[in-house]
């Protein structure tokens, strides 16, 4: 049986205060999903199958939001001809109160009508994964796109070397950003204390 007497306070501290927390998790933990007991992979399982399983069982997701659009002529990420980025939406991930604290973090879910290869996004579900909850380790964070199609490759996101945020707003709410360059590119804004003063970084 899962013990959860401190989980609510831990979850609130992570989301609201950015408190440094390291949780060991429980290998082969059991959680309830869709009225059935589901065996969850080890909290340190970084395989696509393990990450997708946890993303679908340990988290709830907020309302889906379409990308914002900005102009940035100095954008250094990949870009494509105008009008070729597929329609897609992003939803913020929230750890369920009944879920064990995993060793890594799911930040958001992206749902796309078609694949977008320059950012590793596949048609259907994709998840933004980060290897740590620890904000003091932000300089060494790994952040990836994990396709719901477990046969597809993981894609490592690159923090914009300019260390800027693409849009303004709540840093705890990830945002997809359509970036107009000479053509157009796609990025995502994620909470990240490396980018100051806002604590919000652009990735591509």
Q: Is residue 129 part of a domain?
A: yes
Give the mean model confidence (pLDDT) for residues 132-143: 92
Whole-number percent of the chain with pLDDT over 70: 79
Do the domain assignments include residue 33?
yes
pLDDT higher than threshold 90 for residue 24: no
Q: Look at residue 1 and tell me if it is in a domain.
A: no
Q: Is 51 exposed, middle or buried (0-12, 13-18, 19+ CB in 10 A)?
A: buried
16 compared with 76, residue with greater pLDDT = 76
Residue 2 falls inside a structural domain? no
Total number of domains constituting the chain: 1
Q: What local confidence, expressed as pLDDT, does residue 18 receive?
A: 21
For all residues of the chain together, what is the average pLDDT? Answer: 80
Residue 48's domain spans which residues? Answer: 7-203
In a domain, 110, yes or no: yes
Query: Is residue 143 situated within a structural domain?
Result: yes
Helices (H) and strands (E) in the chain, counts: 2, 13
Highest mean pLDDT among 32-36, 40-44, 97-101, 103-107: 103-107
Say what percent of the chain tops pLDDT 90.
51
Q: What is the pLDDT of residue 16?
A: 22
């Amino acid at each position: 049986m899962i013990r959860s007497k401190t989980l609510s306070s831990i979850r609130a501290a992570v989301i609201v205060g950015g408190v440094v927390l390291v949780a060991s998790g429980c290998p082969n933990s059991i959680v309830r999903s869709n009225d059935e007991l589901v065996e969850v992979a080890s909290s340190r399982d970084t395989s696509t199958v393990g990450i997708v399983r946890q993303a679908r069982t340990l988290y709830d997701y907020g309302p889906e939001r379409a990308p914002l659009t900005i102009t940035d002529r100095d954008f250094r990420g990949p870009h494509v001809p105008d009008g070729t980025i597929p329609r897609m939406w992003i939803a913020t991930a929230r750890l369920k109160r009944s879920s064990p604290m995993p060793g890594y973090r799911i930040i958001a879910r992206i749902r796309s009508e078609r694949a977008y290869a320059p950012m590793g996004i596949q048609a259907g579900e994709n998840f933004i994964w980060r290897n740590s909850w620890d904000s003091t380790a932000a300089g060494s964070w790994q952040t990836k796109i994990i396709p719901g199609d477990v046969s597809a490759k993981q894609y490592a996101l690159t923090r914009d070397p300019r260390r800027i945020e693409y849009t303004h707003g709540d840093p705890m709410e990830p945002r997809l950003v359509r970036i107009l360059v000479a053509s157009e590119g796609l990025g995502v804004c994620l909470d990240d204390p490396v980018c100051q003063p806002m604590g919000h970084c652009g990735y591509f």
